Amino acid sequence: MASQTEHYILPRPEFDRPVKLLIVVSPYYRAVADQLVAGAKAEIEACGGTWDLIEVPGALEIPTAIGLAERLSNFDGYVALGCVIRGETTHYETVCNDSSRGLTLLGLQGLCLGNGILTVENLAQAEVRADASGQNKGGGAAAAALHLIALARRFGDDRKAVGFRPDHGEYRLAEGGEGPGIA
C-alpha cells in the first residue's frame, strides 16, 4: 500500500522573486476538494508564493480553464485539483484519461503545472489521499508546479514561447490592406 511506503520528497525550491500560481479545482466532491486546496495553498505559501483560486464544474474542464488562464493572465504556474471516483460506467476512464491528457499537453507546451486530480476506486481512498495532514496530494501537486517554475527560471526565461501561442496583435494588414504583413 502506497501510504505505508516511504517516499523521497525534494527540498522546497527557493525563489529570488515572487511566484504566483493559479489553483484550478473541481469541487464535485467538496470535502475532498477542500482538503486538496488546503494542502496546495500551504505548500505555495511555504515557498513565499501567492495563489488565486477558481472552481470549474468537473475534471474535464480543468485543462481548458488552465489553457484560458495561460493565454489571458500572468501566472507562473498552475495546480490542477479534483477527484474522479470509479462508477458503474466507462465514464470514469474517459474523465481520467482525457483530463490527464489535457494537462500533459499543456505541460509539453511549457506550462509549469502540477496534477492533483485524484483517480480512485472509492471515497475512502480519496479522503486518505486528499488529507492535508496525511498524504497531502494537493500539496504534492503544488510542489510539482513550484519545482517546474524553479526549473524554468533556472533555464533563464520563465516565459519562453513553447508550442502554440496566440499572436496578440503581432500581425497587421500589409500596406493597402492586401493580406497580412509583419508588424
Burial of residue 2, with CB atoms counted within 10 A of its CB: 0-12 exposed, 13-18 middle, 19 or more buried: exposed
Rounded CA separation 115/100 (Å):
8
Domains in the chain: ranges and CATH: 20-182 (3.40.50.960)
pLDDT at 177: 52
Provide mean pLDDT across the span 88-109: 96
Asked which of 37-41, 94-98, 105-109, 170-174 is least confident by mean pLDDT, the reply is: 170-174
Which grid cell sits at 132? 492535508
Fill in the amino acid letter for 114.
G
pLDDT at 28: 96
Asked which of 26-40, 137-151, 157-171 is least confident by mean pLDDT, the reply is: 157-171
- pTM, two decimals, is 0.83
Answer left, alpha or beta for residue 178, where phi above 0 means left and psi between -120 and 50 means alpha.
beta
Provide mean pLDDT across the span 13-25: 96
pLDDT at 6: 81
Which grid cell sits at 134? 496525511
Rounded CA separation 99/117 (Å):
8
Q: Does position 175 have pLDDT exceeding 60, yes or no?
A: no
Q: Does position 176 have pLDDT exceeding 70, yes or no?
A: no
Which grid cell sits at 180? 497580412
Cite the active site residues: 91
Residues of the chain with pLDDT > 90: what percent?
Answer: 78
- Measured CA to CA in angstroms, residue 94 lies from 16, 101, 107, 137 at distances of 41, 10, 20, 22
One-character DSSP codes across 66-99? HHHHHHHS--SEEEEEEEEE--SSTHHHHHHHHH
Contact assessment for residue 152 and residue 112, using Cβ atoms and an 8 Å cutoff: yes
